[in-house]
Amino acid sequence: MIVVKKIFLPLLLSVFWAYPAFAYNAKMHVDIGLNHFYKHRYLDAYKEFKKAAELDPEYPEARYNLGRVYKNQGFIKEAISEFQIAVALKPDYLAARRELDSLLTFLEENAAASAKIQGREAYTNTGASQAISAREAERRGQAALNDGNYAEAARYYDLAVKSNPDELHYIKMLGFVYFKQGRYFEAMEQYNKALEKSPSDPELSYSIGAVYLKQNYLRQAERAFERALSLRPDMLKSVFALGETYEAMDLQDKALFYYKKALELNPNLKEAKTKVESMTERNNYEYFKRGAYFYQAGEHAKAAPYLRMALSGTALSRQQRNQAEEMLAASSYWVQREEQKEQLKSEMQQITQKSYLGRDVTVKEAASNPAAYMGCAIEWEGKLEYISKEDDWAVAISINSDPSVNADTNMEHVFLALLPEALPGWFKPKRFIDVTVKGKILKVQKLFNDNSKVFSRNLQPVVAVTEITLFDKSTNFPLTIRF
């Protein structure tokens, strides 16, 4: 007895572990499919339930949920078939039985629907026995398609595919007919089969994108259309479809770009013309709103381009146009002011960097030969003599570059440093503190000595300061300011 147990237990465990792994995979796909189903992503739900049924054909949950997807999409016959399989696999499956009874009751009360299904069933039973070639089935399918009879076209193309499964054209046409019928699941199946046979066919990527777009799977549609364009950049319908996709995503600028691109490829495409005209008008108002928002936020550089685009169309009222013009004028002014400030800042930085080269030039040399040094970058140091004011400048500081010479009696070594901004309020400069200046020689002029109340004998250099360092030895605290 002990020996039997030792043999039977490993056998039992091997069976126990083998089945759940198989069932778990099917259950996993059903769970994922249900997540898609409840979020109305029926195409993805269908794929997951289909995988579950393929992994475990006797898994009733997979069959039941496939039936729910078919029912939701209006494929009554297919839904009934799946519910019947689910009930056969699990007779006490009440949810599947309720769905099945509901559909059968519907068919009893709706004679037209019942006749349609019976007609299709009759065709299947009789058509299967008809010995027609794939070429003949394709011919009949094309004729039915030309007449707008999609149901008959689908049946004949299905026969053509079954007769010749390797013919790419038949598979593509069957997918197309399913698409025209609104049978997007079956259409996607056929297109994917065809794609396996011809992965570089741009028509297939476009067709897959069209199915995704119809189902509102916009990201997937975008990728499919982009793949089609990577294979054929001038594919007009993919360009237009990308415009439709971006419009559905509410990416108006991108949508308009692709509609305009479609017009470039075919200037007579009425659909593209209509889209461009309507979106341009709609976008003009959106540009106006965005421009006004940035203007009110003080972001003039962002406001200006939106306001220009808003004014480029005719959608705005007269009052809105006046407002847009006023905001654009003000924004342009402030943008120009900022650009000038940035330009000046850049120039001052360059002067500061070049000033080292002018260290050997003395104040006396610049005063004696101003034409040679006008605009020259310099770096001078000396002692602060006095602070005054100069037109258009915040501060003017007279600096003696040779402290051994008394500036009250001899101003040959004095220059005037002009600061674009005031010194900090907490800093109290004293006479004779050390000063180092970097800047550019603007001009020469006679300087007035506030202490001796006399003018300089010669024209002395005047410097536009880009950097100044003031050092009071009594506090041992240097103050450097860069402009």
pLDDT per residue over 417-427, tens digit each? 999 999 898 88
Please check whether residue 398 lies inside any domain of the structure. Answer: yes
> Does the pLDDT value for residue 152 go beyond 50?
yes
Q: Report which of residues 333 and 201 the model is more confident about.
A: 201
- Is residue 4 a part of any domain in this protein? no
B/e letters for 426-455, b = 16+ CB within 10 Å, e = fewer, are eeeeeeebbbbbbbbbeebeebebeeeeee
pTM score, two decimals? 0.47
* 201 in any annotated domain: no
55-78 pLDDT per residue, tens: 888 899 999 999 999 888 878 888
434 domain-assigned: yes
> Does 188 score more than 80 pLDDT?
yes
Tell me if 415 sits within 8 A of 399, measured CB to CB: yes
**Domain interval for residue 393:** 359-482
Per-residue burial over 171-209, b = 16 or more CB atoms within 10 Å of its CB, e = otherwise: bbbbbbbbbeeebbbbbbbbbebbbeeeeebbbbbbbbb
Domain-embedded: residue 60: no
pLDDT tens, residue by residue, 17-28: 444 545 558 889
The residue that leads in pLDDT, 370 or 9, is 370
Q: Is residue 447 part of a domain?
A: yes
Three-state SS string across the chain, please? CHHHHHHHHHHHHHHHHHHHHHHHHHHHHHHHHHHHHHCCCHHHHHHHHHHHHHHCCCCHHHHHHHHHHHHHCCCHHHHHHHHHHHHHHCCCCHHHHHHHHHHHHHHHHCHHHHHHHHHHHHHHHHHCCCCCCHHHHHHHHHHHHHCCCHHHHHHHHHHHHHHCCCCHHHHHHHHHHHHHHCCHHHHHHHHHHHHHHCCCCHHHHHHHHHHHHHCCCHHHHHHHHHHHHHHCCCCHHHHHHHHHHHHHCCCHHHHHHHHHHHHHHCCCCHHHHHHHHHHHHHHHHHHHHHHHHHHHCCCHHHHHHHHHHHHCCCCCCHHHHHHHHHHHHHHHHHHHHHHHHHHHHHHHHHHHHHHHHHCCCCHHHHHHCHHHHCCCEEEEEEEEEEEEEECCEEEEEEEECCCCCCCCCCCCCEEEEEECCCCCCCCCCCCCCEEEEEEEEEEEECCEECCCCEECCCCEEEEEEEEEEEEECCCCEEEEEEC
Share of the chain above pLDDT 90, in %: 48
The domain that holds 448 is classified in CATH as 2.40.50.140
397 within some domain = yes
Across 115-119, 270-274, 418-422, least confident range: 115-119
Confidence grade of residue 125 (pLDDT, cut at 50, 70, 90): very low
Share the mean pLDDT of the chain. Answer: 85
Q: What is the mean pLDDT of residues 393-413?
A: 92
pLDDT band, very low/low/confident/very high, at 16 (cuts 50, 70, 90): very low
Query: Does the residue 209 lie in any domain?
Result: no
User: How many folded domains does the chain comprise?
Assistant: 1
